[in-house]
Amino acid sequence: MRADRLLSILLLLQARGQMTARELAKELEVSERTIYRDITALSIAGVPVYGESGPDGGYALVDNYRTNLTGLTEGEVRALFMLGIPAPLADLGVTRDFRAALLKLSAGLPDTRRRDEERVRQCYHLDSIWWRQGEERVPHLQAVHQAVRENRKLHIAYRPPFAIEIERLVAPYGLVAKSGVWYLVCARNDTIYVHRASDLLDVRISEESFERPTSFDLASFWEEWCIEYETLLSDFTATVRVTPGFISELPRYFGNYIHTKIAQARPPDAEGWIRLELSFESFEAARDRILGFGRAVEVLEPCALQRSVLDYAEQIVALYTRCQGEPSIS
């Protein structure tokens, strides 16, 4: 562990220039006394580190001293620094390793590019969590991660909707994070399944190992699975008219596939509205979504959806009309 810490001190001084013992101790989560001993060890080992006392003092490396640990180009390094530490990586417990890797990459940058690195950090931030998305408890994620990494089978327990608890021995092919939610892609009896990690009631790593098929590609499988899953969620179809000003907003609510439907739609009517068939998870989901669109979307078919939207709209109007007629409380 000390050798790793000595290397980290060397890289920190190389990447950031002069640093105080307090700053180094905070960064490496050790005491200042430990930093003093480590600096002495580096000096004995021949690393040209020197210290300056006083309020503006600290430790630094002599000019032109470098240790190049990477073979990456400057552009490649800067691209990696755009990543930051996404929440899914933090979930897997690799935050410290990721920061250490970025530090090594930083040490590989020329002095003239150090400011570029900091600018990249300040210009880009990746947030993988959707608005108002509650934090999911995934207590077994670390165990699943270990099994995936070590190619070891998993005993998992889960409870499907309206069913009893089920236990299975599966081969964990991979983990996928979609909008901050983790999914386990696994195989049993040559059939591939997908489980939401937060739905796993219990997980135990088996001593039995497995071999991932060479033909299996996680990214390709996930793309195909998402298409099939979204098809299953589209059980209810409604025919609607969409106002011209709202057409460009449709991909926000229905995904990029809506571009194809828009391109295949009939020519706009005299008012510029277009006619589309939109898919929803259910009748209730269609009503709720269309109510949220206000006057931008008009239901044409089915009539039952028209009547339901009208009924809810009339109830809303009646409620707020009554509220306007009530005296205010002072």
Q: How many CB atoms lie within 10 A of CB 60?
A: 18
What torsion, rounded to 10 degrees, do the Cα atoms 65, 67, 73, 74 define?
-50
The letter for the amino acid at 247 is I
281 bridge partner residues: none
Furthest C-alpha separation in the chain = 85
DSSP state of 268: P
- Given a cut of 50, the residues of the chain with pLDDT beneath it are 1, 69-71, 330
Yes or no: say if 282 and 223 are a contact pair by the CB < 8 Å rule: no
User: Residue 296: its pLDDT value, please?
Assistant: 94
| Cα angle 217, 220, 225; round to 5 | 115
User: Residue 56: its pLDDT value, please?
Assistant: 75
Residue pointed to by tokens 């809303």: 316
pTM of the model: 0.57
User: Residue 70: its pLDDT value, please?
Assistant: 47
User: Residue 295: its pLDDT value, please?
Assistant: 92
Whether a cis peptide bond, with omega within 30° of 0, leads into 251 is no
- Outline where the chain has alpha helix (H): 2-16, 21-28, 32-44, 74-81, 87-91, 95-107, 114-123, 141-150, 218-233, 250-254, 258-264, 283-292, 303-325
Yes or no: say if 114 and 15 are a contact pair by the CB < 8 Å rule: yes
Joined together, the tokens standing for residue 75 give 């552009």
Residues whose CB is less than 8 angstroms from the CB of residue 154 and which lie 6 or more positions away in sequence, other chains included: 143, 144, 147, 169, 170, 171, 172, 186, 203, 204, 205, 206
Domains of the chain: 2-61 (1.10.10.10), 74-123 (no CATH), 141-225 (2.30.30), 234-322 (no CATH)
Strand order in the sheet with 181-188: 191-196, 181-188, 166-178, 152-158, 200-209
Half-sphere exposure of 290 (CA within 13 A, CB side): 32
